[in-house]
A and B are shown apart, each in its own frame.
Chain A
Amino acid sequence: DAKTTQPPSMDCAEGRAANLPCNHSTISGNEYVYWYRQIHSQGPQYIIHGLKNNETNEMASLIITEDRKSSTLILPHATLRDTAVYYCIVRVGHSGYSTLTFGKGTMLLVSP
């Protein structure tokens, strides 16, 4: 699976949008971009995934550049409960069979 690069930490004010970047310049055509997050003392939680098109669900939006070399996870109205480590992962296919390879992620701190 392709490697990803994320900033180690980011800050965001409560109620504002949090934009978390991820670089995956060596991504292959059959690799999907996944985002998970891990709140303190909990296991990772799936957020969203995409291949080429932008995606949105109840938790977040995923913007993937046209060349697919980078992406941005957007939390439109961050709350204190969004404070967590966010992992950007690229993986072949999207079945449960392919491995999730976690990096160190981005520690997002949402402040009042």
Chain B
Amino acid sequence: EAGVVQSPRYKIIEKKQPVAFWCNPISGHNTLYWYLQNLGQGPELLIRYENEEAVDDSQLPKDRFSAERLKGVDSTLKIQPAELGDSAVYLCASSLDGAVGGEQYFGPGTRLTVT
């Protein structure tokens, strides 16, 4: 079974430029998460989707961050414009509703460097 796929793995951009990250969850997983992980810290939730609906986006900085999950499968996270402080790893995870353990499966992440 394929895991959570993210691309690109690495991205370097200049500040004020836009950037987008893509995530393909595990087939059949209808819950999708985007996390932000700063160096030396644990991941922090940005947004959670149930199918195509964003049900928890309280931690998403909406002035510059946006996300979408069209058709309830793939998802894209966008930053426009990027700031120096956005340099971090962006992780995508998915889970299966009703699963006994409720485990979340994470992708490898996209490491963003803003110069």
Contact = CB atoms under 8 A, between A and B. Distances in A.
Contacts of A104: 40-42
A99 B106 contact: no
A41 B42 contact: no
B74 to A, nearest CB: 17
A99 B45 CA distance: 8
Given A41-B108, A97-B31, A99-B56, A46 B103 contact: yes
A93 B45 contact: no
A96 B108 contact: no
Interface string A80-99: 00000101000001111111
Interface residues of B, number: 28
A96 B97 contact: yes
B99 interface: yes
Say what secondary structure dominates the interface of chain B: loop
B96 A94 contact: no
Contacts of B96: 96
B7 interface: no
B100 A94 contact: yes
Nearest to A107: B40
B108 A42 contact: yes
A112 to B, nearest CB: 26
A96 B107 CA distance: 16
B104 interface: yes
Nearest to A32: B102
A43 B103 contact: no
Given A99-B56, A100-B45, A43 B40 contact: no
A58 B103 CA distance: 16
